[in-house]
Amino acid sequence: MRESGSKATQIHTHQPSGKTKLDRRTILEAGADFIDQHGVRELSMRRLGAALGVEAMSLYRHVPSRENLLDGIVELIMDQLYGDPEVYLEPRNGWQDYLFRLAHGLRRMALAHPRIFPLVATRPPEAPWVRPPLRSLRWIDSFLGALTSSGFRPEAAVAAYRAFSSFLLGHLLLEVAALGAEIGPVETDDGQAQETGDLSEYPQVLQLQDLLSEDRSADEFEESLENLLERLGTLIR
């Protein structure tokens, strides 16, 4: 499995015992888990090493720096999209279905890793045309191919790509931020859960407080996505 050298070296698994042999892949996975559980702020090389039962410096045999580690984690998470059976690399039922599935796949990814998604969103991309949250050339190529093969002119496909990115980025970032607000900063533990400040200066907010607190993100996502798809439809040749 997993590929690599695999010539004749693979005759006997040398360490079938407990300790899962250090490895870039295992480090990235452990890093992702760590961030899921404790947040990026808490992730230090020493702590991640400890989580793997290893000294901090050992990680540097497989990962050149902390920055690169974070990039690797982002890439690892993004790769989950390939494993999502609901998302297709090629359009099978038209471009709308393709985009619909892609958007929902990305949303699932963001909601599965709310502490990691901000990294996906803000880490500097490797090329100017790589726009978060679609940070992989392979997916971008797939995206553009899906649209051009469905009758979009090149300009329209690119415009659609841009509109799609910024819609997803905005919506998902706010959605995971709202999630994080409940889970996030370890509770302010000075008594109880952050007293709602004095809103008497803000009558509208005060009055609409209930509506504002309501979580309609799933519906809003659906509606906005639908609207976006309609709008993109008008770009078609």
CB atoms within 10 A of CB 232: 21
Rule CB under 8 A: say whether 121 interacts with a copy of itself. yes
Among 26, 44, 122, 188, binds a copy of itself (CB under 8 A): 122
Distance CA 57, CA 52 (A): 12
Rule CB under 8 A: say whether 171 interacts with a copy of itself. yes
Contacting residues for 63 by C-beta, under 8 A, at least 6 apart: 24, 27, 28, 69, 72
Rule CB under 8 A: say whether 226 interacts with a copy of itself. no
Among 185, 187, 226, 233, binds a copy of itself (CB under 8 A): 185
Q: In the bound complex, what is the minimum distance in angstroms from residue 75's beta carbon to DNA?
A: 17
Q: Which is nearer to a copy of itself, 32 or 134 (CB)?
A: 134
Q: Which does 168 bind (CB under 5 to 8 A by kind): DNA, a copy of itself, none?
A: a copy of itself
Rule CB under 8 A: say whether 148 interacts with a copy of itself. yes
Q: What Rg value do the Cα atoms of the chain yield, rounded?
A: 22
Cβ atoms of 144 and 205 closer than 8 Å: no
Cβ atoms of 121 and 179 closer than 8 Å: no
Cβ atoms of 59 and 45 closer than 8 Å: yes
List of long-range contacts for 135-143, beta carbons under 8 Å, 24+ apart: 135/74, 135/75, 135/78, 136/75, 136/78, 136/79, 136/81, 138/89, 139/78, 139/81, 139/89, 139/102, 142/89, 142/90, 143/102
Among 202, 218, 226, 233, binds a copy of itself (CB under 8 A): 202
Give per-residue burial for 31-40: e unless 16+ CB within 10 Å, then b.
bbebbeeebe
Q: Which is nearer to DNA, 47 or 153 (CB)?
A: 47
DSSP state of 237: -
> With CB under 8 A, what is the number of residues at the site for a copy of itself?
62
Q: Which does 44 bind (CB under 5 to 8 A by kind): a copy of itself, DNA, none?
A: DNA
Which residues of the chain form contacts with DNA (CB under 7 A)?
9, 14, 21-22, 43-47, 49, 54-58, 60-62, 65-67
Among 92, 184, 218, 226, binds a copy of itself (CB under 8 A): 184
Rule CB under 8 A: say whether 26 interacts with a copy of itself. no
**Positions that interact with a copy of itself (CB under 8 A):** 118, 121-122, 124-129, 131-132, 137-138, 140-141, 144-145, 148, 154-155, 157-159, 161-163, 165-171, 173-174, 177-178, 180-182, 184-185, 196-197, 199, 201-205, 207-209, 211-214, 216, 220, 224, 227, 231
